Structure 1
Amino acid sequence: MIISGDFNHATLDSTLAVFNQVVDCPTRNNRTIDLLYVNVREAYRSTPLPPLGKSDHNLVHLQPLYTPLVQKQPVTTRSVRRWFPEKESALRDCFNTTVWDVLMNPHGEDIEGMTHCLTDYLNFCADVVSPVKTVRCYPNNKPWVTWEVKTVLNKKKAAFRSRDREAMKAAQQEVKHCVKEAKDSYRRKGGAEAEGTTT
C-alpha cells in the first residue's frame, strides 16, 4: 500500500506506525513535505530532481530497491555444436576417406592408447566440420529458446521497425511455428532423458 501527498502540516508517523516514509530529500526549499508512505520497509530510494515548470516543489525520483530474481542470478556460458544435414554429410565423408589402419596399427594391442587416439581424431573431425561455439545463457531465457527461435524473433523485430504489416504478419506466423517446434523438441528431449534415467 502507498500513501502519497503534500504533508505540509501533517505526519503519519504516529497514526500509521506500520508505514515507512521513504522520501528523505528536501522537496520544497529545505523542507521535506512531499512524502510517500509504504507498508514495505526499504522499498524505494529517493532522489531529488528540478521542479516541473513553475512549481515550487521539487520532483522526487523513486527507484525500487528490489532486485529482480533474473538480475540476481549470474549469466552462464556453455559450449554448443550445431548440426545440419550438410554438416553430417561432410563428417560422414571425412570418416569414409580416413585410413583407419594408419591410426590403429601403431598402438598394436594397447586398447587404451588406441581409444585415446580414435577419440581425439573423431573430436578433431567434428571440430573441423562444425566448430564448438560458446553461448551466453541468461537466467530469463526459457530452456526451449534456441538459436533458430532468436533468429525469427529478430526478424519479427526488424519487420516491426520497418512498419511493414505484411512482413510483420508473416514473421508472426514464423515465430509461432518455430516456437511450437522448439517446445516440442525440448519436450521430446526431456522425455528421452527421463526414460534414460529410469532405465
Structure 2
Amino acid sequence: MVELHLLTRTNKDFSTSAALCFTETWLSKAIPDRALHLPGFQLFRANHITELTGKTRGGGTCFYINENWCTDVTTLKRMCCPNLEALFINCKPFYSPQEFSSFILVSVYISPNVSLNTALQQLADQITDMEQQYPDSVIIILGDFNKANLTRELPKYKQHITCPTRDRNILDHCYTTIKDAYRSVPRASLGLSDHCLIHLLPTYREKLKSAKPVVRTVKRWTNEAELELQACFDCTDWSVSEAAATDLDELTDTVTSYISFCEDMCIPTRTYLTFNNNKPWFTAELRQLRKAEDDANRVGG
C-alpha cells in the first residue's frame, strides 16, 4: 500500500487516471477498507474467499475510481468461484461521450491452474447479460487472464494490451468492442509484483468529432403554406399539360415535375445539422432541458 501511495503522489499518469485496476490482490475480509484508503479515489473490492475458491492464497480484485472523474459508481456483481473471480461496477462520470450512457468496468482474475474453457464461458455469460441490461453502456474488461483469451468466446471484443506484462508474455488483458480504443504503455512493476504496470492511454475519438455532421433539409408544412399551394393548383390550367403530352408517362412526368416546382415555391424549408452521435429520442425539448441544467450547474444553481 505504501508503494501505491507513492505511485499516485509522484506519477501524474496514475494520479490523474480515471480508474486503477488491480488483480490478484490477496485481499480478504480481515483487511479493512481504511487500510487501503487512497486519497482522491473510491475503493471497490472483491475479496478472495477461500471457501468458494478452494485456494488459500492468491485471487482478489479491486478498482480505485478517481473522484475527479466519477463519484456515481454502483457495484453490479461480485463473482468468486474455483475458476473465476470478477468484479463488475457501473460508472456514470461527470462527462462522457454522448453515445455512452455509462462505463461498466470489469476486473477479472483467472488462475493458471483452472479450467480455462469453463472460466471463459462463465465470464462470457456474465458479459452477455450485462450487454442486455445496459445496451447503451460501454463494457471495459481488465485483468489477469494468464493463458485465457476472451475473444474465443466473444469475438467482437478486441484486446488492447500489446506489450508484455510478465517477462515476454502478455498475461494481463483489456477488452472492449471499440476498435483501437487504447494504446498500452508498460511501466515498472509495483512493489514485489512480478507483473509490470500497464498504462492505458485512450485513443478513441467520440462520434461527434470523428464523423462529419449531415446536412438535412425538411419542408415546413404550415397551414399558411398549404393554403398558398392549394391556391397555386386552383389557378393552374391542367389542360395545357394534357394537350402537350403524347402519352400517359409523359403526362405523369410533366404533372409531377410541376407539383414539385409549386412545392418548392410555396413550402418553406429548414436546413439543420444531424450529428452522428444524436439519439433519435433526444428531442429539441430535451436539448433545451439539458442546456438549462448545464447553465444551472455552471452558476451553482
Rg larger for? 1
TM-score by length of 1: 0.45
Give the strand-richer structure, 1 or 2: 2
Larger relative contact order (Cα-Cα within 8 Å, sequence gap ≥ 6): 1
Give the helix-richer structure, 1 or 2: 1
